[in-house]
Structure 1
Amino acid sequence: MSDLKVFSPQSLQLLCELALEVVRAETVDEVFQLAARCGGRLLQADYTAVFRFSPVGSPQLVSWHNNRNNDSVEWLADLAVLRQELGHLRPFCLNQPDMATSLFTTHPEIHSLLSVPVLHNNELLAEICLVNAPNEHGFKAEDEQVANILAAYVAEALRKVQLIAEFEGREAELAQRNKELAALNQAAMAIAGELTLDKVLQQIVDNLRDLIGAQYAALGVPGPDGYLETFVYSGIPTELARKIGTLPRGHGLLGVILREKRPIRIPRISKDPRAYGFPPHHPPMESFLGVPIIAGSEVLGNLYLTEKIGADEFSASDQELVELLAAHAAIAIQNARLYEQVGRLAVIEERARIGMDLHDGIIQSIYAVGLTLESTRLALPPGSEEADKLLGAAIEALNDTIRDIRNFILDLRPRRFKGDLQEGLARLVREFQANTMIPVTLDVPPDVVANLPTPVVRAIFLTTQEALANIARHARATAVTLTARRVQEMIELVITDDGIGFDPEKQHQSVGHGLSNMRARAEELHGRFELVSALGQGTTVRLFFPTH
């Protein structure tokens, strides 16, 4: 501090007080305002100006101090031009009135100028310019030293404010991250608490949309053919979804995620060459984030988000959250599938047990009673026609009962469907004919059922199974016809019997005929269900399913 011996104690005290004011500032604007005011007070200059510098662009006048209260200060902005010409990384002192006067066109009388840079690690942050020293001799070396000390404090104050802003920003990011992780935890718990697969999938997309703040969310589950067989969405009204019609199958960006098994995050769907486009009535979508749901090496599904709310695109943080939720979703989907599988196995075991009990117990008992009645019938004395007739009716009734029980056993017996529709339908027909002795005409050409979507194949198999079981239980038919054909972009399945028929108007709930299940399957796949029946005229069930 030996270089400061020329300053009086009062000057040093004022320098320290003003420097402390500067470093205590809490914002950048406050630092600049104090820098201008303190510079004017320390050196008693007529005018003090502070210019802010950025990596690009011209210096910007951000603060000034005017000891001549009545003078205009607009001309101070011209000082930036001068400093650009003279360089910014070193102090500049000008005590030549003629030279100073030639630099400006509109200004008060200028006889001296002192300018010092505000540097941090050789980076120019700002510049403090003082105009007109309080005496005619201009600014002295001591004045330049004071100005440099003030500039050093200003640099540290700016750095402090920057560090505080960075800390507060990181603190805000951390708080937001904690909030997101808490929401993720709640979403994961909600997903884990549901065991029904359909509800699990819907729970995932609903929680995902809320967690990330997206307008739309969806989850697609691929089938054996590699295309989406299940597509669950959130954010699109039901009425609009009906207008859109066909659900995505896994083309474009959705297909890329299926094949490459990696996330995709883009700001504009319309600008991406992999995009497939949207069907009529589909809402516009631009920002996109897709993440696969993977368990081991198996892709269980894909999560899709579009239209980030409050931003032009999804962030890397959004992607990280979706990937975390995808891991939870994989476990939830596996749990739901295992739960459903256990439930199906329990039902199958129970049905098999009931079927065995019916076959080995009740049917054999009834059959034994029938044999007893046959023996009694043979032992009747001549002239017992009335008794013989009654015994014959009783024996026929027992045979009908045995036939009905066998039909119920047929309906209870589990059937494994491996995906081959041609083979599956043929097996259903063989089992039906063996148990009912009713002939079936099967007309299902291989090319008609080739390359059908997995959900449609399964729906046709289950519908045929349901229809044949209904015929066995209720129709009293002597012949059944089962046909399939392509009609434009639909496959038509027709099952006809020549049985007793029924009045559809009196079957409002369709209970006992399984018709509600058939109708539900058709509507679920955006197909159509038709029923034609009348008492004594048989029944025709006609269903239409989309072929793609």
Structure 2
Amino acid sequence: MRGVERDDEGLSSDARVLLEAVAAMSSDLDLDKVLRRIVESACQLTGARYGALGVISDHDDLAAFITHGVDDDERARIGDPPHGRGILGLLIRHPGPLRLPHLQDHVASYGFPKNHPPMTSFLGVPVLIRGVAFGNLYLTEKAGGAAFTDQDQALVEALASAAGVVVQNARAYALSERQRVWLEATARLEQALRPSATMKEALDLVAVAARVVSRSPLVAVLSTDEAGAPTIVSTEGRDAGSAPAVVETSDVAVREAFAGGRPDPVALADEQLAVAVPVRAELFGATVLVVVLDPRQERGMLRADLDMLASFGEQAGLALDRARALADRAELAIVSDRDRIARDLHDLVIQRLFATGLQLQGVRGQVVSPVVADRIDSTVADLDTTIRDIRSTIFALQRPGAQSLRAQVTALALEYEGVLGFAPVVRTAGPVDTAVSAVIAEHLVAALREALSNAARHASAGAVSIALTSDTDEVSLTVTDDGSGIAPGGRESGLHNLRQRATHLGGSLEVTRAEPTGTRLLFRVPVR
């Protein structure tokens, strides 16, 4: 019987090799590198020519297959990696050591594809993490054509046990790094979203942030058109041209995301997945991110990435709402200042000028000199002109943001807050302040006033939303309430006037029932 060789520290040669293997695979926290080190160490321990580690997916097949002993050219000639059938599938279904002197003789043997190197002896051992199979170590072709021994199996089982701990640590580190990157991306997005950013600029920033962090080849931002159909408003990534096809393939998931759900990923070509992520931004309207992921990029990180994408959608919605709220607050501050200035002009300046004019007119009757009388008359006339000019200024100030349609809509919504008992939600999209002419803007404000008055007087509504959207051809105003709706056969004198306005401008007015209750008014006209 051959004695066991020991080194100066009293360790056997096998124990020394095993310790070195564990130390080597523990020296890195990158999960891919750790998995490759595990396979290499197993081959070194047993003298196996070929080795592989198959990572088990949630569907009990192989999500990844890391090999050793096969170069890139050989791997390309073999073709697609195994999916977990035959002997490989046997170990997935029954995780436990399996040692075979002749692989082909086993009843579960599935055979090899064309151009696959010949393999005879086999040793398979599961890699467990907290008792759950993470994957399996597969070793074949022991040196010298011999079969794997009991000693080989014991060494690989010990290595696999240590590998489970190493893989767990690497996965925990990878997960913490991914979470850190997502949190940093969310923080950068909040900093980049300026209150003055347009809706398109804001959604472009969201798309960029999602693409960079997820390392996705395609991110598409979707909104809904007037008919409620998903519409692509922004794309990012090298595969941006394929966005329409990806969105069409993911149609069911996209609609579910618009409804506020969290749908399952949709399978695409090349093992990629499309994920529809709802972005809940109350002031920006319904928005959905479609992100293409490749689960092969990050071993075992798909579920974590899906969770972090969902969290990113929530945070992006909050960031969009925060930017819009800051912009609204800035505009309201301007409106408040204009109101204050108008009140001061009316209550102080005009009154003082008027009193001064009265005093001059009183003095006029006591003046004998015609020259002085003419000078007083001229001064009083100038004061009257000044008062008229100030009144015109006050009128302009009391129409806040006369050059900004969005500001007028926001101010009118706030004006009706006291009447309604709540603040209507205002959403805008498109170049409403640049594409819409001043004449059309006046009609839109009048239409909004009529709609808000109806909601306040007749609907008994508990919520009102205002959507103002525009492109270079058409502008539409949609006012929706959750009130009692329009009574059949009721008078609609105000609505009749709005229909005439819309027709006169070459547009249309639609008044329909909102679901589940309420009224939806759509005033749509050309922008010029």
Q: TM range, normalised to the smaller chain?
A: 0.3 to 0.5
Give the TM-score of the pair, scaled to structure 1: 0.44
When Rg is computed on C-alpha atoms for both structures, the one with the higher figure is 1
Give the TM-score of the pair, scaled to structure 2: 0.46
